[in-house]
Chain A
């Protein structure tokens, strides 16, 4: 139905790549330093978590042995032209080892989105505030819920009404096989669900940089 479907995305990605060639050497060094910095900051956050809590979570989620964290630095080349979607096209695809389901973080280590479509030279990254974005998250120490993106507010649903959730609690999640906590945002508002069984929570994202150009994909 769409014989030229990849053409426009490829065109925009190649423009972005051409722009990068001039500063490739220096940008590679910067990227390596940024990666190291990010890995260190993630390790720091990891150490800030209580050992006891980590042990409990590892047991609960049947975590396997920790893998070493690895990142792929990618540039945002273009966006989905619809104002109702929050999808970015990044200038790396299967050629750089990207796969569907991988998560992306910004240079501060906060969650940006998830890879949803991978082609040879580019991939589509669904941002956290896309209406179709969903991920299971922790709130504070041990409450669990489902974070759903949205154009107005980012919400967490299905939190047990008995769970201890407070304003400004940190919302975070763990990528399977990597035990580093990835921070998403803070609790902004707490509402009781109509049926009284669950809590609905509004989240304020940590990553609020609308002009984000570079992201790191967790391998």
Chain B
């Protein structure tokens, strides 16, 4: 496993632990694991991102009270769809559009899944997730590119 892949794995692991321990309890309306999966899909090849999406989707299903494979299927489908769009669209803002698309899909299917749409919660989820994604996207891409630069030096 390369250093870049290890970075993705450890990032997703930290995000999963953040979701499970919720240090801010329910004051933050976001899902770090989902944001991490989107982040990895936008920066890694299909094979790696599909593998990680499936692993963390499965881990999320294991920790949830509902005994379904909902997240496993959702995260894997999102990984495939993101790569499909990345391959076919090459505009500058495509990554932002993909992120918001994935966020809206995630919101919609979860609201349908619990059968109770929370409009205020959905709005909060959009705002919190967008702000956190902007922050982690910047930090994560810098971290990856630093690693690549160091590799080149060596």
Contacts and interface: CB of A to CB of B under 8 A. Distances in A.
Interface residues of A, number: 30
Contacts of B63: 8-9, 78, 80-81
Best-buried of A8, A82, A132 by chain B (most CB within 10 Å): A82
B94 interface: no
Contacts, number: 81
A124 B63 CA distance: 11
A152 B119 contact: yes
A22 interface: no
Contact of A1 (B24, B67, B120, B121): B67
A152 B120 contact: yes
B110 to A, nearest CB: 5
A82 B70 CA distance: 11
Interface residues of B, number: 34
A117 interface: yes
B113 A84 contact: yes
B144 interface: no
B83 interface: no
A219 to B, nearest CB: 23
Given A2-B61, A12-B20, A210 B116 contact: no
B20 A150 contact: no
Contact of B16 (A81, A84, A132): A81
Nearest to B70: A82
A124 to B, nearest CB: 6
Interface in A96-145: 116-117, 124, 129, 131-132
A211 B121 CA distance: 18
A157 to B, nearest CB: 13
Nearest to A12: B20
Contacts of B116: 131, 150-151
Best-buried of B24, B60, B62 by chain A (most CB within 10 Å): B62
A35 interface: no
Interface stretch (B1-9, B29-37, B44-52, B146-154): B29-37
Interface of A: 1-2, 4-5, 7-9, 12, 78-87, 116-117, 124, 129, 131-132, 150-152, 210-212
Given A2-B61, A4-B62, A86-B26, 16 more contacts: A5-B62, A5-B67, A8-B63, A12-B21, A78-B20, A81-B64, A82-B60, A83-B29, A83-B30, A84-B113, A85-B64, A85-B65, A150-B116, A210-B25, A210-B27, A211-B25
26 contacts: A1-B67, A1-B69, A2-B62, A5-B62, A12-B20, A78-B20, A80-B65, A81-B16, A81-B19, A82-B60, A82-B64, A82-B71, A82-B110, A85-B64, A85-B65, A85-B114, A87-B65, A117-B65, A132-B114, A150-B118, A151-B120, A151-B121, A152-B118, A210-B27, A211-B24, A212-B25
